[in-house]
Amino acid sequence: MVEFPPLRNDLILRAARGEKTERAPVWVMRQAGRYLPEFRELRSKHEFFEICRTPHLATEITLQPIRRYSGLVDASIIFSDILVIPQALGMEVLMNPGPSFPDPLNTPEDVSKLRQHVDVDKELGYVFEAITQTRIGLKGEVPLIGFCGAPWTLFAYMIEGGGSKTFTKAKTWLFKYPEESKALLLRIADVCVDFLVGQVKAGAQLLQVFDSWAGELSPHDFSQFSFPTLKHISDGVRRKLEQQNVPQVPMILFAKGANYALGELAETAGYDVLGLDWCIEPVIARDTVKGKVALQGNIDPNVLYGGREAIEKAVKRMCEGFKQGNKGRTGAWIANLGHGITPGVDPEDLKWFFECIRKYTSQ
C-alpha cells in the first residue's frame, strides 16, 4: 500500500466507531456535485462517466468542496457513481441527464449477458487510482470515504433501465422469479465486496453502502431481498480485509426509507453507522438502535432552500435531538443531510449549514 500524508482530522473515524467526540463531524452526501459552480464548469467540458473514469478529473472534483469548505467539513467522498458496478458487469449506462440503460435486463435469461466473473482491478481500477490520487491530494486534511450502491438498488436500475416511480419491472422479478432474483442480488453483492475491499486497499478510510431504494420494499420484502445482501457485504468485506492483512475501516449503511428496519439493522447487519433520512426523529432513532451503532443524518435536503433562519432552526433542532437520545452525550453521531444535496442550492447556504453544525455541537 502507498504511504499517505498523516491524517490531521479523525473526528468522523472516532464517531463512526461509536466514540464520544468533542463536536459532531459533518459532511453531506453529493457534496461534490452540481450545486458547485466549479463542478459545473469542469462538467461542461466532459461527459459524466468520462470524469468518473479519469482519475485526475475525479480527484479534482472530490477536492473542490474540501477546498471551498476547508476547516468546516470533516470528510470527503470519492467522486464516482453507484452505476459503475452495472458497467463492470458488462451493461451500458448513459447519463442523459439521469441514468439510462439502453439494454436493461428484461427476463432472467438476460442475466447470461452479464460478465461471469468481474475482475474489479481490471474493470474498476480507475476508481482505485482516483482514490489513491485523492488521498495524496487531501494531504491528510480529512478522511476519504469510498462507496458502492447496494444490490437491491443496483438490481432495480439494471432491470428498470433507469429511475422509476413504481418499480414495476424490478418488483415483477422479485415476485415472479424470487429465486433468480436472489441469485442475481447475491452476484451483485459479490462484486460490491471486491469493489469495496479494493477501495480500502487503494486508500479509502471509511465505506458507505447506498441502498437508495430500500424504502420501496415492504419490511418483509426488505428482509427477504435486501437485508441478506447487505449482511453479505459487511461480512465479506471484513473477512477479506482480515485475510489480506488490511486494517479494518468503519462501514456506513444508508438504507433510505428503511427506518422500519432500523432496530434489526443495528442489531445484525454488521455496520458501524446507520444513515438516516429525514422521515424519522433523531430521538426515536437513538432509542431504536440502543447505542449499538453510530447514526448519521438527517435534515431534509430541501431545508437548504429555506434561507439562513430556517437552516439554523433545523440544525439546532436536529442537534438537540441527537443529544437527548443519547442521554445528553454528543458523539456517536455524524451530522449530514437525510439524502444528497440538490443542484439548486446556493453554496453559501451550505457553508452556513456547516457553520451552524459547528455552533450547535461544539461543547
Ligand X SMILES: Cc1c2[nH]c(c1CCC(=O)O)Cc1[nH]c(c(CCC(=O)O)c1C)Cc1[nH]c(c(CCC(=O)O)c1C)Cc1[nH]c(c(C)c1CCC(=O)O)C2
What is the contact surface with ligand X in residues (CB under 6 A)?
Answer: 29-34, 43, 48, 77, 79-83, 95, 97-99, 147, 163, 210, 212, 340
Min separation Cβ 254 and ligand X, Å? 7
Output the DSSP codes for 302-317: GGGGSHHHHHHHHHHH
- Measured from the CB atom, the residue of 162 and 228 that comes closer to ligand X is 162
- Is residue 53 annotated as part of the catalytic site, yes or no? no
Which position among 14, 43, 68, 358 bears the catalytic label?
A: 43
User: With respect to ligand X, which residue has the nearer C-beta, 43 or 292?
Assistant: 43
DSSP state letter for 280 = S
Q: How many C-beta neighbours within 10 Å does residue 219 have?
A: 12
Residue 86 or 331: the one with the smaller Cβ distance to ligand X is 86
Return the residue nearest ligand X (CB atom).
212
Q: Is position 30 annotated as part of the catalytic site?
A: yes
Please confirm, yes or no, whether 221 is among the known catalytic residues.
Answer: no
Residue 298 DSSP SS3: strand
Query: Catalytic pick from 14, 34, 238, 329?
Result: 34
Of 320, 363, 321, 318, the closest CA to residue 336 belongs to 318
Minimum CB separation from ligand X for residue 120, in Å? 18
Of 23, 30, 53, 187, the active-site residue reads 30
The answer to whether 81 is a known catalytic residue is yes
Residue 166 C-alpha cell reads as: 413504481
The Cα–Cα gap between 88 and 215 comes to 26
Report in angstroms how near the CB of residue 79 gets to ligand X at its nearest: 5
135 a catalytic residue = no
DSSP output for 158-188: HHHSB--SS-HHHHHHHHHSHHHHHHHHHHH
Identify which of residues 82 and 323 has a Cβ nearer to ligand X in the complex.
82
In whole angstroms, give the CA distance from residue 354 to residue 317: 15
Least distance in angstroms from the C-beta of 57 to ligand X: 12
For residues 363 and 53, is the Cβ–Cβ distance under 8 A? no
Q: Mind telling me the catalytic residues?
A: 30, 34, 43, 81, 157
